[in-house]
Chain A
């Protein structure tokens, strides 16, 4: 219950994305009824035909900005939202579609679409925070539904949500995992990646893919050098960092000689 006794109004918006993050809310089967009782889902086209007007207490924003229309819409959403929370790698870092930022988008459009004239797009895919101020980020590709539920319960209780920004390794070690990087020589992005997923990949003997994006003070450069020591070719290292969160500056800068102005 929010401070004035009414249920907080939540809205879910979508830009360029696969919908996987907003589905995490519908996927939270055990908590869904409790959520629906405790908050007012005012706007969530994926789940309900009801489309109530703002202002909203929390706007959950999925997806990256890839068109002129997006760039205008996000400004309107910001004006209607007390708290704006970006959810998922697309919204927080530009997503996998930000790979086009390193290429000629117009040429790709010509290659992919039969009638390129119908396509109106920006040259880049950029995170929401490059357009409007963002209050909180939920990372991941997709986000972890427990973090989403945590955000909602913390808001309802009036406390700060427990969303750590430190490395995945701390979570991995608390689970008692063997470090696959040290014990197996497997390149793992965990030491440069933000915790929050529960260390799913290392727990399954896979290197972390970095889907939660750069952690606080991410020293991706040192980790990239270590990947080379472990025997990765330069382009393999580049591919490892340049995926879902490749456009996030701490990952991007490893391969960009010219510093951002």
Chain B
């Protein structure tokens, strides 16, 4: 595909959203609700968080007023796109018994196609991870596929990073390279923001053309590259995922796991907010008269006791074993299993952990303890 870029103002962005809605999409965007940003249905730019930015730190998230006309002076929504595409709670089957007959009831009709405005590069990367996990093998997840396949993605490159972001070291941001239909960059120096819009798919280009978007000025592309490079350079957190698989196996018995387990609540907030954690559990429900039965699927977490319950008890009965499993899988074993780490560097697990446990810091400590063990061994 020919690379084409366009210039949009806010009206133009509104037109994109309106077009998508006319085509039958349910359009989602970051919206302020209950003192945080969430993926919610939007009808236009007016629903986007103008005038707000975020203060993000371990165990702490605040919306802060921002003296700017920008619509995207924030980073991540509290949840990943999985909240819309890999639903937290979904009925997968219902049946009824009538006069000796057993009847499978229809599931609700599939939801409208989804479009997302303002998808961060880390969240695009998370979709690629989820696609690999849920669709990349012989047994694909039909519920995810139905929602994911028709999804239209309007990304936003990050020209600033939050203190909890570490996408640069994970190779997933702050500039999106693929996986979008349109990628925007925001220029909001004046009172009216303007957007550099790159088409990433034929559908994205059609939409931009249909909205009559003008070609972008020639120097904008470089300005975006520079902005994203500055955002990358400003990141203070980093994680060396290449080192993870080897390190994780060597550190199964590290005392550091006990140290984390003292603080970890096994609450599962990290897995709930992580855009790539995909685990689910199934629940059967029956009516009292025994005529109706339903099977539901709900988000699960490797931090629960029941997650590894087999005959006789839980395999990972301690909090230590669960945190170790989570980090080891996310950073290490995921690579052997699916070819990439399960972490994109979005920083959500750091922010939304009630006690602010920081995956980059825990990993760094593990690396230090490995280095210490190695130097001890050579002295022997």
Q: Which residues does A use to contact B, with CB under 8 Å?
A: 1, 31, 34-35, 37-38, 149-150, 152-154, 156-157, 159, 162, 164-167, 169-170, 173-185, 188, 190-192, 205, 215-217, 219, 222-223, 225-226
Contact = CB atoms under 8 A, between A and B. Distances in A.
B269 A179 contact: yes
B264 A219 contact: yes
A170 B351 contact: no
A76 B268 CA distance: 41
B233 interface: no
A239 to B, nearest CB: 19
B272 A174 contact: yes
Nearest to B62: A183
Given A169-B272, A179-B78, A179-B269, A216 B287 contact: no
Contacts of B306: 164-166
Interface in B64-93: 78-79, 83, 88-89
B189 interface: no
Interface string B348-363: 0001111100000000
B321 to A, nearest CB: 10
B289 interface: yes
Complex A-B, nearest 8 residue pairs according to Cβ-Cβ distance, in ascending order: A173-B272, A191-B267, A178-B34, A166-B304, A178-B36, A174-B88, A34-B288, A191-B265
Interface of B: 33-36, 38, 59-63, 78-79, 83, 88-89, 262-269, 272-273, 283-290, 293, 298-301, 303-306, 317-319, 351-355
B303 A166 contact: yes
Contacts of B290: 1, 38, 156-157
Contacts of A166: 266, 268, 301, 303-306
30 contacts: A38-B289, A157-B290, A159-B284, A165-B306, A166-B305, A167-B267, A169-B269, A169-B272, A170-B267, A170-B272, A170-B300, A173-B273, A174-B299, A175-B88, A178-B34, A178-B38, A179-B61, A179-B354, A180-B35, A181-B354, A182-B60, A183-B34, A183-B62, A184-B35, A191-B355, A216-B266, A217-B266, A217-B319, A219-B266, A225-B355
A139 to B, nearest CB: 15
Contacts of B351: 182
A167 B265 contact: yes
B267 A169 contact: yes
Given A174-B88, A176-B83, A153 B265 contact: no
Contacts of A185: 60
B288 A35 contact: yes
- Report which residue of A152, A173, A181 has the largest number of chain B beta carbons within 10 angstroms of its beta carbon: A173
A185 to B, nearest CB: 8
Contacts, number: 143
A155 to B, nearest CB: 10
A152 B288 contact: yes
- Report which residue of A149, A153, A175 has the largest number of chain B beta carbons within 10 angstroms of its beta carbon: A153
B262 A222 contact: yes
A28 to B, nearest CB: 10
Nearest to B296: A162
Nearest to A165: B305
B288 A177 contact: no
A15 B269 CA distance: 37
Nearest to A167: B267
A34 B287 contact: yes
Contacts of B301: 166, 170
Contact of A178 (B60, B78, B263, B305): B78
Contacts of A217: 266, 305, 317-319
A219 B265 contact: yes
Nearest to B317: A217
B15 to A, nearest CB: 29
Given A34-B288, A167-B265, A179 B305 contact: no
B305 A216 contact: yes
